[in-house]
C-alpha cells in the first residue's frame, strides 16, 4: 500500500539538521535566561547585523544569471558600517516602532503600499495617523514610484503638509524599485520604512533590502524565510536610532532608581528563548534562500507549456535579486478550472492560511472585490490534492476597514488580486513536489 501523501504547504518552518536551534534554546534554560533580552538576543542581533550589512559577495547568490556565485566570508558594505539591528516580538511591532521613531502621530499621513498584508498598514492607525494607499506597478507588483510622487504632491496640496513616512513592501520577496523610491523620498525629505518582512535576504544591486531607508522591517513568523516561532527585527541606520527603538520596546523607562515614564512605551522585546531559535536559523538562512530560488526556476521550466498560467518573475534588470519567499503566478480569465461552477457557492468555515479558529463568521460568500471564479476553483481543487494554494493579498484600499482612506490607484493591484495565486516554495518543498503541483494544475484545467 502506498504511503498517503502529506499536504504540501506554502512555507513551513525548517530547522537545521545539526539541531543548533535546540542547542541555543537549551542554553537559555540551562542559564535561566528565559526572559526578554539576554545572550541569545544579543548574539542574534549581531548575526543579523552581519548578514544585512554584507556585500553581495558574502551571500549565497544562486540564480540562473549567476550560477557560478558561491558563499564567501562576510564582507562589510562600508556604507552600512553604523547599522544596528534590534530584535522585537513581531514584524508588526517593528513597523509600529519604526513609524513612531519617524515622528508619526495623530493627524499625520503615511504613504503605504496597498498590495500587501495588513501588518504594513495597521500600525499606522495605532499611532492615530492615516494610511494613504499607493497602488503597484506591474513589473514588481510593488509600490509604483510615479503614483507615490503624485500622492505626495496631492496630499501636500490638500492637507498643507507632506506625508510623514513612506512604506514600500517587498511583496512575496520581490524587491521594490528602491532606487526610484529613495530618490523621491529624499527629494521631499520623507523617511522610508522598508517593509522587508517577506524579503529577508532579497537584494537590490547587491544590497540587502531593509538597509536603504531609515528603518527596515524583518519578520520571523513561522512561515517566513527563517523563524523564531514568532518575532521580528528592525534594521536601524545607527546606534542612536537603535537605542531609541529599544527604549520604546521596553516600556520607555527613564533613568531613575524607580519607574519613571515621560513617554508611552511598549512591551515589544524578543525573548531570549525565541532568539535562540533565531541563532540556529541563521545557519540555514542562505540554504533556504537558495532553495526558494531553485523552486522558482523549476516552476518557470515546468510552466512553460501550461496555457494561461504565468509565473511572476523578477525584472530582467540584474540588480533585482528576489528571495522568492513564495512563488506567485496568474491564471488567465479565459482558463476554466474543474469545479468552477461551484466557486463561491458556500461560505467557508475556516480561514485561508494559518488563522483557522480565530476568524469572524460572515453572512455572504462574496465581496465586491474578490479573485475570479477560476482562481477560487483552483484553490479548492488543489486543496483536494493536498496542496496549499492561496490567493494573493487583497489590496488594502479594497478592505472594508479602509474604505474611506485616501488611495492613489491605477488598477494594477485589483487586477492582480483577481487573477493571482501563490504556490508552495518552502524548504520542505521537493523537486518531486513541484512537479506534482504543476501536474495537479494541468489536471485542474478543463481542456
Whether residue 433 sits in one domain with residue 375: yes
Check: CB of residue 86 under 8 Å from CB of residue 316: no
Instruction: Judge whether 294 lies within some domain.
Output: yes
Q: What is the CATH number of the domain that holds 403?
A: 3.90.1150.10
* Helix/strand/coil percentages in the chain, nearest 5: 35, 15, 50
Whether residue 385 sits in one domain with residue 371: yes
Least Cα distance to 424 among 353, 352, 327, 331 occurs for: 327
Whether residue 299 sits in one domain with residue 233: no
Sheet holding 203-204, edge to edge: 207-208, 203-204, 320-321
Angle, helices 272-281/20-30, rounded to nearest 10 degrees: 150
Instruction: Judge whether 293 lies within some domain.
Output: yes
Instruction: Judge whether 397 lies within some domain.
Output: yes
Backbone angles phi, psi at 310, to 5 degrees: -125, 115
Whether residue 268 sits in one domain with residue 399: no
Range of the structural domain that residue 297 is part of: 286-444
Backbone angles phi, psi at 232, to 5 degrees: -160, -175
Whether residue 267 sits in one domain with residue 397: no
- In the listed set 284, 302, 317, which residue is the last one of a domain according to the structure? 284
Whether residue 391 sits in one domain with residue 304: yes
Q: pTM score, two decimals?
A: 0.94
| Tens-binned pLDDT, residue by residue, of the chain (447 aa) | 457 889 999 999 999 999 999 999 999 999 999 988 899 999 999 999 999 998 654 443 333 333 343 334 457 888 899 999 999 999 999 999 999 999 999 999 999 999 999 999 999 999 999 999 999 999 999 999 999 999 999 999 999 999 999 999 999 999 999 999 999 999 999 999 999 999 999 999 999 999 999 999 999 999 999 999 999 999 999 999 999 999 999 999 999 999 999 999 999 999 999 999 999 999 999 999 999 999 999 999 999 999 999 999 999 999 999 999 999 999 999 999 999 999 999 877 666 665 555 677 787 889 999 999 999 999 999 999 999 999 999 999 999 999 999 999 999 999 999 999 999 999 999 999 999 999 999 999 998
Work out whether strand 309-311 and strand 390-391 pair parallel, antiparallel, or are unpaired.
Answer: unpaired
Check: CB of residue 282 under 8 Å from CB of residue 225: no
- In the listed set 263, 284, 305, which residue is the last one of a domain according to the structure? 284
Please name the helix (run of DSSP H) or strand (run of DSSP E) that holds residue 172, with its range, or none.
Answer: none
Instruction: Judge whether 26 lies within some domain.
Output: yes
CA distance 110 to 130: 6
Instruction: Judge whether 25 lies within some domain.
Output: yes
- In the listed set 284, 302, 332, which residue is the last one of a domain according to the structure? 284
Cell of 165: 513616512
CA distance 152 to 320: 26
Whether residue 103 sits in one domain with residue 63: yes
Whether residue 145 sits in one domain with residue 110: yes
Q: How many domains does the chain have?
A: 2
Amino acid at each position: 500500500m502506498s504511503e498517503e501523501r502529506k499536504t504540501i504547504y506554502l512555507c513551513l518552518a525548517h530547522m537545521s539538521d545539526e539541531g543548533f536551534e535546540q542547542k541555543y534554546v537549551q542554553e537559555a534554560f540551562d542559564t535561566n535566561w528565559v526572559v526578554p533580552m539576554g545572550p541569545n538576543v544579543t548574539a542574534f542581533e549581531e548575526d543579523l547585523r552581519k548578514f544585512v550589512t554584507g556585500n553581495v559577495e558574502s551571500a549565497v547568490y544562486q540564480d540562473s544569471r549567476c550560477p557560478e556565485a558561491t558563499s564567501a566570508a562576510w564582507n562589510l558594505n562600508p556604507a552600512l558600517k553604523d547599522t544596528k539591528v534590534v530584535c522585537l516580538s513581531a514584524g508588526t511591532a517593528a513597523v509600529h516602532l519604526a513609524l513612531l521613531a519617524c515622528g508619526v502621530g495623530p493627524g499625520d499621513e503615511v504613504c503605504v503600499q496597498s498590495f500587501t498584508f495588513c501588518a504594513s498598514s495597521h500600525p499606522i492607525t495605532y499611532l492615530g495617523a492615516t494610511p494613504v494607499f499607493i497602488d503597484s506597478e506591474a513589473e514588481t507588483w510593488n509600490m509604483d514610484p510615479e503614483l507615490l510622487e503624485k500622492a505626495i504632491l496631492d496630499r501636500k496640496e490638500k492637507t498643507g503638509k507632506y506625508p510623514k513616512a513612506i512604506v514600500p513592501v517587498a511583496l512575496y520577496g520581490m524587491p521594490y524599485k528602491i532606487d526610484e523610491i529613495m530618490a523621491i523620498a529624499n527629494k521631499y525629505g520623507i523617511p522610508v520604512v522598508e517593509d522587508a518582512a517577506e524579503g529577508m535576504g532579497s537584494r537590490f544591486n547587491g544590497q540587502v533590502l531593509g538597509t536603504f531607508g531609515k528603518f527596515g522591517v524583518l519578520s520571523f513568523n513561522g512561515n517566513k524565510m527563517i523563524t523564531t516561532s514568532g518575532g521580528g527585527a528592525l534594521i536601524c541606520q545607527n546606534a542612536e536610532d537603535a537605542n531609541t527603538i529599544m527604549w520604546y520596546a521596553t516600556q520607555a523607562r527613564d533613568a531613575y532608581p524607580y519607574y519613571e515614564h515621560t513617554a508611552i512605551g511598549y512591551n515589544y522585546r524578543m525573548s531570549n528563548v525565541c532568539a535562540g531559535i533565531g541563532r540556529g536559523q541563521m545557519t540555514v538562512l542562505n540554504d533556504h534562500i537558495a532553495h526558494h530560488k531553485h523552486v522558482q526556476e523549476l516552476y518557470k521550466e515546468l510552466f512553460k507549456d501550461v496555457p494561461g498560467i504565468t509565473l511572476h518573475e523578477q525584472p530582467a534588470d540584474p540588480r533585482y535579486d528576489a528571495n522568492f519567499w513564495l512563488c506567485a503566478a496568474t491564471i488567465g480569465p479565459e482558463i476554466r478550472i474543474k469545479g468552477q461552477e461551484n466557486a463561491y457557492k458556500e461560505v467557508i468555515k475556516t480561514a485561508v492560511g494559518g488563522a483557522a479558529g480565530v476568524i469572524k463568521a460572515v453572512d455572504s460568500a462574496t465581496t465586491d472585490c474578490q479573485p475570479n471564479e477560476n482562481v477560487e476553483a483552483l484553490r479548492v481543487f488543489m486543496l483536494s490534492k493536498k496542496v496549499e494554494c492561496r490567493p494573493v493579498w487583497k489590496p488594502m484600499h479594497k478592505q472594508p476597514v479602509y474604505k474611506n482612506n485616501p488611495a492613489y490607484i491605477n488598477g494594477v493591484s485589483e487586477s492582480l488580486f483577481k487573477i493571482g495565486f501563490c504556490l508552495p516554495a518552502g524548504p520542505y518543498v521537493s523537486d518531486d513536489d513541484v512537479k506534482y503541483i504543476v501536474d495537479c494544475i494541468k489536471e485542474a484545467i478543463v481542456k
